[in-house]
Amino acid sequence: MDTAFSRCSKIAFKPNKNILIFVGGIGSLYVAYKTYSYYVESQRRKKWNAVSKNVVLLHQPIRGKFTPSISPFPLKLETYLRLSNIPYENDFEVPMSPTGKTPWITLNGEDFYDSQLILEMLAKKFHKDFSTHLSQEECAVARALQIMMEEHFYWAAVLWRWVYTGGRSIPDIVEAKLLLGLFAIPMVSKMMKRAAYGQGMGRHTKAEVVEMGLKDLRSLSSFLGVKPYFMGDKATEVDCAMFGMLAQVVWNSPQSPFEELVNGECINLKEFCLRMKETFWPDWDRCLQRAVNSSITVLALLCAVSDAFTLGMRATSQARVTPQMNFVDDLFGKKSAPAAPTPSANDNAALNAVMTKPMDEWSKDDKKTVTRIASNWGDRGGTEGYTFFNGPTPKTGEQADLQDFFAFADVDAPPQLAVFGGIFGVALVAVVATLITG
């Protein structure tokens, strides 16, 4: 019996050659991409390991427009490195640690995560403890204040930056990459909303969150009073943490209630930031230099190369005038174009007769003669109505023999076109991914 199943089983699987080439191309590209990524990673690691002994390599996001970092924790750690005079270098290429947080460091080939754990490890290793003069009680107060800012106020600031204002301040405070605005900001915004909800602060109303944030700042301001630093006349570790966080309020929270507070009632917090900036960041302005965004250049280059190849392959050898096209010829072989016919003696005479006349006196037939004999597209047999693509103008709107637009199998596309199209597609995805992930 001829069941639906048996009918289906009779349909032979006819692999489409172009699709196979395309899939093969993509597969090879994936393997190539993975190998390349592995190579890049190992080269990076080599570079990081080549940093001199006992020099910290600080991995952090690119510089901000108004602060060396728009994240409190990298700014805290870099400020500590300056306070303690521990030699360091920056890496802005891989800001996120395998734990998904920034900052992190590589020291003597070993990776360390979490600004506070790093700071404590460095303090021990380099004997740079700036709190030895403090009593246990003072240390406890310093820790409590720091936790208030890093674990409580931080979330109010996160909600303001990423949720209540939807990350709109980001392009103002950091040189955003091409697609950051399109994809990353809404994405990060959602992530932060979820994180704040998980932490708990995000479950409150905006008014409640703002009030909690303002209370933290007021408490901090009261504690600081007229002292130059939080624990007295000398800057200590806690000042680095406070600076990292408060710098975000002072310079990176435009039109927020927090910014308003430190510009008025809690001005001592802003003065503290200016003091820290002057003391530990004499090169502040130089550190605000923006990272050059090379991604656009890479994308443009890929487009140009892909265009040159795909168009070059389609062109006849006569049209190949540029070096890239010659290169294409070398790679794929020349396409032979029909040899131009040698004009007969009659044609030469007819052409000469027309050419001796001024051009504005040429008749329609004269023009046809010149086109027929002297142009490089040959005789069209007097057919009228040629279109730009060198085919006759359709006489009616209905073209029964016109192939389906999606009849991919029938398209005269050389396999190379599919491969280069694939390369371009993958490259485009890679560039977009790079732009998004930074």
State in angstroms the smallest separation of the CB of 14 from ligand GSH.
48
Distance between CA atoms of 328 and 308, rounded to whole angstroms? 9
CB of 304 closer than 8 Å to CB of 259? no
- Residue from 15, 98, 100, 358 touching ligand GSH (CB under 6 A): that is 100
CA distance 222 to 225: 5
Q: Which residue has the tokens 């890093």?
A: 150
CB of 119 to ligand GSH, least distance (A): 9
Of 390, 403, 416, 409, which Cα lies nearest the Cα of 335? 416
Q: Which stretch binds ligand GSH (CB under 6 A): 21-29, 98-106, 215-223, 368-376?
A: 98-106
Judged by CB under 6 A, which stretch of 30-38, 71-79, 170-178, 275-283 contacts ligand GSH?
71-79
Q: Which residues contact 283 (CB under 8 A, 6 or more apart)?
A: none
Of the two residues 110 and 361, which places its CB atom closer to ligand GSH in the complex?
110
199 binds ligand GSH (CB under 6 A): no
| Segment lying near ligand GSH (by CB under 6 A), choices 66-74, 83-91, 165-173, 175-183 | 66-74
- Among 116, 324, 416, 434, interactor with ligand GSH by CB under 6 A: 116
Binds ligand GSH by CB under 6 A, chosen from 21, 25, 48, 71? 71
100 or 323: CB nearest ligand GSH: 100
- The answer to whether residues 83 and 238 touch, using CB atoms and an 8 Å cutoff, is no
Q: Rounded to whole angstroms, how far apart are CA atoms 9 and 214?
A: 72
Beta strand pairing call for 56-59 and 88-91: parallel
The number of helices, as runs of H, and strands, as runs of E, in the chain is: 18, 4
Among 115, 189, 253, 310, binds ligand GSH (CB under 6 A): 115
Cβ proximity to ligand GSH, 71 vs 90, nearer residue:
71
Closest C-alpha to 161, from 149, 169, 173: 169
Q: Which two tokens stand for residue 283?
A: 């090169």
Handedness of CA 148, 149, 152, 153 (dihedral sign): positive
Q: Residues 225-264: x/- map of binding to ligand GSH (CB under 6 A)? A: ----------------------------------------
Which region among 79-87, 96-104, 204-212, 272-280 touches ligand GSH (by CB under 6 A)? 96-104
Q: Which tokens sit at 376?
A: 């490089």
- CB of 311 vs ligand GSH, minimal distance in Å: 43
Sites of contact with ligand GSH (CB under 6 A): 71-73, 100-102, 114-116, 195
